[in-house]
Amino acid sequence: MIPVVDLFSSKSSREPQALSVTQLVRRMKNLLEIQLGEQWVEGEVSNLRKQGSGHWYFSLKDEGAQISCVMFGARRKAGSEALEDGAKVRVFAEPSVYEARGQLQIIVQKVERAGLGDLQARFEALKRKLEAEGLFAAERKQELPAFPRVVGLVTSATGAAIEDILNVMGRRAPWVKPVLFPVRVQGKGAEKEIAEAIRRMGEPERFGLPRCDLLIVGRGGGSLEDLWNFNEEVVARAIAACPIPVLSAVGHEIDFTIADFVADRRAPTPSAAAEMAVPDGEALRQRIEGLERRLKRRVSERIERLELVLENARRGVLSRGGDRLLREPEMRLDGLRYRLVRQVVARWRQQRAELKALDLRLAVMKPERQVTQRRELLEGLRRRIDRAARVQLEDRAAQVSHLGGLLKALGPQSAFDRGFSITLGPDGKVVHSVHSVQPGEVIQTKVSDGDIHSCVQAS
């Protein structure tokens, strides 16, 4: 238990002795540093600020309290890379008091990552979910209009962001009409206001609003908690569903929100969003003036060249009269006309001569007589073929008859008629010797009027 020190225990016999504020704060500082000393403290990082001096300032918090922290020469300290808004860390630090303000703080010596804080974990989970659904895909993003006439603004009506946007737009493009839909950009329920405003601006006719060419959604800088409404899913889906191109401008350049990933374009700051949304009027004016000068110069040069050509023409052939200028073309035209007529007549005569020659050939050939001659020739050939065929058939018949007589005279049948016979063994072959058969075999004898079958008894 920390002993309670009575800072006012020493009393004067006449009046109590008072301490200066500096003495009181210094005693408190000494008491903390001596009694507590260096400790490990765990919590969630919030409102991290990195100064150009190299010192980092932030808050460390949990559900019940928070405390200011400072890390001198942070880049040289162990674990400093773990410090980021929303990160859950363990720090080895010494409690102290900042005397100039009487503010309790801890001096951080080193840092260890203890896991992502709740907000950071929610941020990463939602980012993964929406990315998997394709809400961050480049192909679904719309191009910002080059020359918008009406720009919608969904932001706080009292913040610095709206002032920055209006100042930049008024300076760059005073002809562009800004339309503000005021919403809360921080606190519980602000995300629903933002999403509803985006939805209404996307359907302006339904809600009696002017139609905008572009929508800027955002706010000024702040801690992770301050910007958290732009990390809510309802805002992300409203931006994704908006038919109007959406330009996200939340916080500073180092701040990234879910709205930045879903929007069609991201601007590092509200001022930068205004510069991206509208063209620079002065630059456009200079460009138009430059184009005007170039156009005038080219037109003047063209006119001068044409005037020179006209003047030369006036001094040349035109000075001698238009009829003289047309003499030579008329002569060329007459020559072409004569050549054309002559060629047409020559071609006509040639074709007429060819047609007469064809008529003569046709008359000489007389197709009717040619057909009659061909028919007579075919008839003669048919008669000759018939006669030759009859002669051939008669010759073949005589030959067949003669061969038949020879076959009958010299064939086996004539031998049978003269009393001869042929004996065939059981195998059907001619028996030439008594030794060709065996007793008991059946033999066949062919005679003139049939066959005799007999059984061999002895051979």
DSSP string, 239-251: HHH-SS-EEEEES
pLDDT for the residue 179 = 95
**β-strands 66-71, 103-116 pairing:** parallel
Residues in the chain: 459
Across 34-51, b (16+ Cβ under 10 Å) vs e yields: eeeeeeebebbbbbbebe
| Chain region(s) in the chain for CATH 2.40.50.140 | 21-116
Q: How far apart are the first and last CA of the chain?
A: 155
Taking CA 342 as the corner, what is the angle to CA 336 and CA 343, rounded to the nearest 5 degrees? 90
Q: How many CB atoms lie within 10 A of CB 122?
A: 17
CA distances from 168 to 44, 221, 366, 434 (A): 37, 18, 105, 145
Return d(Cα 433, Cα 24) in angstroms, integer.
Answer: 165
What are the residues whose beta carbons fall under 8 Å from the beta carbon of 149, sequence distance 6 or more?
175, 176, 177, 213
Across 309-342, b (16+ Cβ under 10 Å) vs e yields: eeeeeeeeeeeeeeeeeeeeeeeeeeeeeeeeee
The domain covering 122-282 belongs, at the CATH homologous superfamily level, to Succinyl-CoA synthetase domains (3.40.50.261)
H or E stretch including 265? strand 265-266
Return d(Cα 401, Cα 339) in angstroms, integer.
Answer: 89
CB 69 within 8 A of CB 60: yes
pLDDT for the residue 157 = 92
| Chain region(s) in the chain for CATH 3.40.50.261 | 122-282
H or E stretch including 180? strand 177-182
Strand partners, 249: 218
Taking CA 294 as the corner, what is the angle to CA 293 and CA 300, rounded to the nearest 5 degrees? 90
CB 212 within 8 A of CB 153: no
Task: Extract the tokens encoding 446.
Answer: 């062919």
pLDDT for the residue 316 = 65
Angle between helices 270-277 and 160-172 (to 10 degrees): 30
In order along the chain (459 residues), what is the average pLDDT of each group of 10 residues?
39 67 84 81 91 91 91 87 86 88 89 72 89 93 94 92 93 94 92 95 93 94 84 94 95 88 94 93 87 90 87 67 68 85 89 85 72 85 89 87 76 72 84 83 83 83
The domain covering 21-116 belongs, at the CATH homologous superfamily level, to Nucleic acid-binding proteins (2.40.50.140)
pLDDT for the residue 372 = 80
